Structure 1
Amino acid sequence: MSTPPSPSGAERTDGPSVRIGALVPLTRPGWVQAGRHLLAGLELAVREVNDAGGIAGRPLELVVRDTAADPQRAVAAVDELARLGVAALAGEYHSVVARAAAARADALGLPFLCSSAVLDALTEQPTEWVARLAPAQSHGWRIYADFLLGAGHSRIAVATAPSVYWASGAGILRDRLAPHGGVVIELDTSTLTPAAVCDELAGNGATALLLLVGHPEPAVSIVESVRRDRRLAEIMIGAPAGQPELAEWATSLGADGAAIPFLRYLPERLSPLGARVGTALRERLAEAPSFVAFEGYDTIAVLADVLRSHGMDRARTAGSWPRVAVEGTRGRIRFSRVPGVGVWQWAWPPVQVVDRDPAEHDRFRVLHAG
C-alpha cells in the first residue's frame, strides 16, 4: 500500500506506535482456524503499512486479544484495549461475540471496524462508532435462498442449534422462500442425534438439509450420518454459514465434505491487489487463504487510511466512516447506512455460493453469485 501525504501540520517523525486492538478467536470453543486466517490478514496488512512508512512515520502495532467465542471475554478485552489507548478496534469472526464487543465499544466511544461477523443487529441502536466489512446476514442468506430456489429446492430442512445467529438465519431463509411456496423445517440438534436427524429427513420430504450448527461438531457428524444413509442419497447438504471454506473441513470429511454449497465473500476474479495479497497470505498460512483472511487484510487497509487522513483521535475516526473510499482486495470499500443495520456498512462485498469439487477437494466451484 502506498502512503499518502501526512495530515496537514503533521511532521513525519519517529514516535510511539499507533495501536489497534484486534479481537480474534484463537482457542476453543471459538473457530480457531477462522481466527488464524483473520489474524494472518490483519498481520500482513500491518506489516505492509509499516514497510510503507507507518502512520505519519509512526509504526502501526496490533494488540491481539483472544475472544474464544465468548462474549463476556470479548467485552473484557474491549475494556482492556480501551485502557491501553488503542486508536481503534478491529476483527472478530463470531457474530454473537462481535455484537457484545460492538455494544461495549459504542458505550466507551471506541471505533470498531468489524471484519467478519454478519448478524444484522450488530448493535441494538444505530451507532456512529461501529462499521462493518462483512455483508449483513440478511443480504448473503437471501442470495443463498435464491440459489436454493434456482436449484429446485423449496422444501428445506435446517439442522439448528440454539443461537440468535442460527435463529436469524432460519428466519431469513423462511421469509425469502415462503413467497415462492418454500417451506423450512427445523430440526433441533440439541435434542436430536445425527441418526435421529436422518430419520426425520427420511420422513419429511425435504430435498435439502442446511447445517445451521457449529463446526466441527455437530456439523461433521451430521454430514457423515447423512452421507452414509441410503435413504438420503438424493438429499443436498448445504452450509450457508461457510463451514466448508476452511481446509480443516476437507481434512475432517474428505470426499463427504464435497458438493456442500456455502457462502463466501470473494469476487469471481481477484484484482491485481487481491491476487498479490492472496499469494502473500498463502505463504503466511501454508494453505489457501479463505475469504476471512482477505477480510482481515481489508480491515487494516481501511483503518490505516483513516488514521493517516484524520489522525488518531477516536471521535474523528468514527466520524470518518462515511468518507472512506479504499481499494480493498475484493473491491472498493465505502460505508453507508443500510435499512435494518445500525452500523456503517460496506454495501456490499461480493457474494458467491460455492462448493468443493468432488473430483478435486481443494478446488472450489462457483454455483451462484449475488
Structure 2
Amino acid sequence: MTIPPSPAAPRPTDPTSLRLGVLAPLTPPGWVGAGRHLLAGLELAAREVNDAGGIDGRPLELLVRDTAADPERAAAAVEELAGLGVAAVAGEYHSVVARAAAARADTLGVPFLCSSAVLDALTGEPTEWVARLAPAQSRGWRIYGDFLLGAGHRRIAVATQPSVYWASGTGLLRDHLAARGGVVVELDANALTPEALCDALVDQGATALLLLVGHPKPAVPIVRAVRGDLRLGDLLIGAPAGQPEFAEWAAALGGDGAGIPFLRYLPERPGPLGERVGKELRERLGEEPSFVAFEGWDTVTVLAELLRSHGTDRAAIAASWPRVAVEGTRGPIRFSRTPGIGVWQWTWAPVQVVDRDPAEPERFRVLHAG
C-alpha cells in the first residue's frame, strides 16, 4: 500500500527562492509537541536568514511535510520534495521515521540533515548524503546509565513496547549496566496492565522503572499506577527518551509527571547566541523552548552556511558536510565520521539528565551532565 505524502504546501510566489524540504511530526500519532518545537526552530532560523538578505539574495523557502510518525509517509514525502527541487531535506524527531527518510534520501541522492533522531543505525550502510545534529543513542543512553548507577540503582526495570528504537535503548542500557554490576529486567507494556506491571516491579525488587513506551498511552497510565501504589513509593521512574520535556506531559500528569529524569541536549549554561535564540523561541512558542526547538534552529543555520559556501548542487552539499563549521545555539558545530555510525555526525551536542522539580514542576533541574 502506498501512503500519500501530506498535503502540499502552497506554491512559492518567488521563483528565485531556495527550497528546503522539512519533515516533522505535526499530527498524531506523532509527538506533536516535539514537531511544533522543531518547526518553530526551523522557521525562526529561516526567517533570520531571509531578514539578512537570504542566500546571495535568494530567500529560503521551507516546504513542510507532516510525517505523523509514519515511516512510509516520510519516505514518500522525501520523494515528493526531491521532485519539487529542494536543495536538501531537514528535520524529523522520531528515529524510526528518520531512518526511513534517510534511506530514501540516500537512494535519491538528496542531502538530508537529521535534526533530532538519535538511533545509531540511522542508515543501513554508510552514506555521504546524510548528516545528523543529535547525539547518537549510544552516547546519550550510556550517560543516562551512568546517572542511574551514580544514584545507586543496580536493578532497573524497563517497561517496553516492540520498536527498533526501544529495543536498541534496552540493549544499550543492559550492556552498559551489566559491565558495572547492574541488571536490566524487561517488562512487556503491551502484555501487562499498569496494575500488573506494578506487581511485577515489586516481585522483581526493581529500584527504578524506565518508560520505553509511547505517550500518552501506555506511559501516562503507567505513571499514574506507579505513583498511586504505596509499595513503590521509593521507586525512581525515568524516561530517557525525553517525554517529560514537553508541555503535554505536564498537562497530562501534573505533579505525578515531575521527578522523572530524562535526556535533553542543551548546555547547562547557554552562551549569548543560545540566550538570544531561546528568547525568540520562547516568544514564538509561548512556552519554554525544548532542546528540539534549538535543534531546528541549528539545522537551518548549518544548511544556510552550506548553501552560501558551496552552492545549491545536491552533490556539492553532500560533499561538504566535513567542511562546514558554524556556531550553533549549543556550541560550535562540525561533522565527522564516528566509528559505528554511518552518517556524518556532530560529535557531540551536550547531554544532560534533567527532571521537573517536584516542588515546582515548571522548573527543570539538571541532575547529571556528560
TM-score range, shorter chain: over 0.9
Q: Deviations over 1:189-222 (max 9, x none)?
A: 1111111110100110110000000111111110
The answer for unaligned runs of 5 or more in structure 1 is: 1-13
Normalised TM-score (structure 1): 0.96
Post-superposition shift, 1:15?
5.9
**Number of paired residues?**
357
Post-superposition shift, 1:247?
1.1
Post-superposition shift, 1:156?
0.2
The AA in structure 2 aligned to 1:231 is R
Q: How far apart, CA to CA, are the structure 2 residues paired with 1:71 and 1:325?
A: 31
Q: How far apart, CA to CA, are the structure 2 residues paired with 1:40 and 1:217?
A: 26
Q: How far apart, CA to CA, are the structure 1 residues paired with 2:133 and 2:264?
A: 13
> Could you tell me which residue of structure 1 aligns to residue 187 of structure 2?
187
Q: How far apart, CA to CA, are the structure 2 residues paired with 1:218 and 1:331?
A: 36
> Could you tell me which residue of structure 2 aligns to residue 120 of structure 1?
120
> Could you tell me which residue of structure 2 aligns to residue 8 of structure 1?
none
Q: How far apart, CA to CA, are the structure 1 residues paired with 2:189 and 2:305?
A: 44
Percent of paired sites with the same residue: 78
> Could you tell me which residue of structure 2 aligns to residue 5 of structure 1?
none
The AA in structure 2 aligned to 1:322 is P
> Could you tell me which residue of structure 2 aligns to residue 283 of structure 1?
283
Q: How far apart, CA to CA, are the structure 2 residues paired with 1:174 and 1:85?
A: 44
> Could you tell me which residue of structure 2 aligns to residue 42 of structure 1?
42
Q: How far apart, CA to CA, are the structure 1 residues paired with 2:155 and 2:181?
A: 9
> Could you tell me which residue of structure 2 aligns to residue 297 of structure 1?
297
1:15 touches 1:58 (CA, 8 Å); kept in 2?
no
Q: How far apart, CA to CA, are the structure 2 residues paired with 1:40 and 1:223?
A: 29
**Which structure 1 residue ranges, 4+ long, deviate > 3 Å from structure 2?**
none
> Could you tell me which residue of structure 1 aligns to residue 314 of structure 2?
314
1:87 touches 1:313 (CA, 8 Å); kept in 2?
yes
Normalised TM-score (structure 2): 0.96
Q: How far apart, CA to CA, are the structure 2 residues paired with 1:87 and 1:248?
A: 34
Q: How far apart, CA to CA, are the structure 1 residues paired with 2:331 and 2:145?
A: 24
Bigger mean CA deviation after superposition, 60-69 or 244-253: 244-253
> Could you tell me which residue of structure 1 aligns to residue 177 of structure 2?
177
Q: Deviations over 1:73-112 (max 9, x none)?
A: 0011001000000000000000000000000000000000
Equivalent residue runs for 1:86-235 within 5 Å:
86-235=86-235
> 3-state DSSP class of the match of 1:252?
helix
Q: How far apart, CA to CA, are the structure 1 residues paired with 2:90 and 2:216?
A: 26
Post-superposition shift, 1:330?
0.3
Q: Deviations over 1:142-196 (max 9, x none)?
A: 0000000000001000000110000000000001000111100000111111111
Q: How far apart, CA to CA, are the structure 2 residues paired with 1:15 and 1:231?
A: 65
Q: How far apart, CA to CA, are the structure 2 residues paired with 1:340 and 1:144?
A: 20
> Could you tell me which residue of structure 1 aligns to residue 7 of structure 2?
none
Post-superposition shift, 1:248?
1.2
Q: How far apart, CA to CA, are the structure 2 residues paired with 1:153 and 1:340?
A: 29
> Could you tell me which residue of structure 2 aligns to residue 54 of structure 1?
54
Q: Kindly indicate whether residue 354 of structure 2 is the aligned counterpart of residue 354 of structure 1.
A: yes
1:245 touches 1:290 (CA, 8 Å); kept in 2?
yes
Q: How far apart, CA to CA, are the structure 1 residues paired with 2:302 and 2:362?
A: 30
Q: How far apart, CA to CA, are the structure 2 residues paired with 1:262 and 1:180?
A: 21
Post-superposition shift, 1:328?
0.3
1:135 touches 1:348 (CA, 8 Å); kept in 2?
yes
The AA in structure 2 aligned to 1:25 is P
1:15 touches 1:57 (CA, 8 Å); kept in 2?
no
Q: How far apart, CA to CA, are the structure 2 residues paired with 1:74 and 1:300?
A: 19
The AA in structure 2 aligned to 1:82 is A
> 3-state DSSP class of the match of 1:334?
strand
The AA in structure 1 aligned to 2:207 is T
Q: How far apart, CA to CA, are the structure 2 residues paired with 1:27 and 1:319?
A: 34
- RMSD value over aligned CA atoms? 0.7
Distance 1:15 1:72, change over 3 A: closer
The answer for unaligned runs of 5 or more in structure 2 is: 1-13
> Could you tell me which residue of structure 2 aligns to residue 366 of structure 1?
366
> Could you tell me which residue of structure 2 aligns to residue 257 of structure 1?
257
> Could you tell me which residue of structure 2 aligns to residue 11 of structure 1?
none
Bigger mean CA deviation after superposition, 269-278 or 14-23: 14-23
Q: How far apart, CA to CA, are the structure 2 residues paired with 1:237 and 1:134?
A: 24
Q: How far apart, CA to CA, are the structure 2 residues paired with 1:189 and 1:207?
A: 18
Q: How far apart, CA to CA, are the structure 2 residues paired with 1:324 and 1:162?
A: 38
Q: How far apart, CA to CA, are the structure 2 residues paired with 1:205 and 1:253?
A: 25
Q: How far apart, CA to CA, are the structure 2 residues paired with 1:342 and 1:164?
A: 17
The AA in structure 2 aligned to 1:35 is G
Q: How far apart, CA to CA, are the structure 2 residues paired with 1:215 and 1:324?
A: 36
Q: How far apart, CA to CA, are the structure 2 residues paired with 1:327 and 1:137?
A: 23
Q: How far apart, CA to CA, are the structure 1 residues paired with 2:273 and 2:32?
A: 27
Q: How far apart, CA to CA, are the structure 2 residues paired with 1:232 and 1:85?
A: 55
Q: How far apart, CA to CA, are the structure 1 residues paired with 2:342 and 2:38?
A: 24
> Could you tell me which residue of structure 2 aligns to residue 273 of structure 1?
273
The AA in structure 2 aligned to 1:236 is L
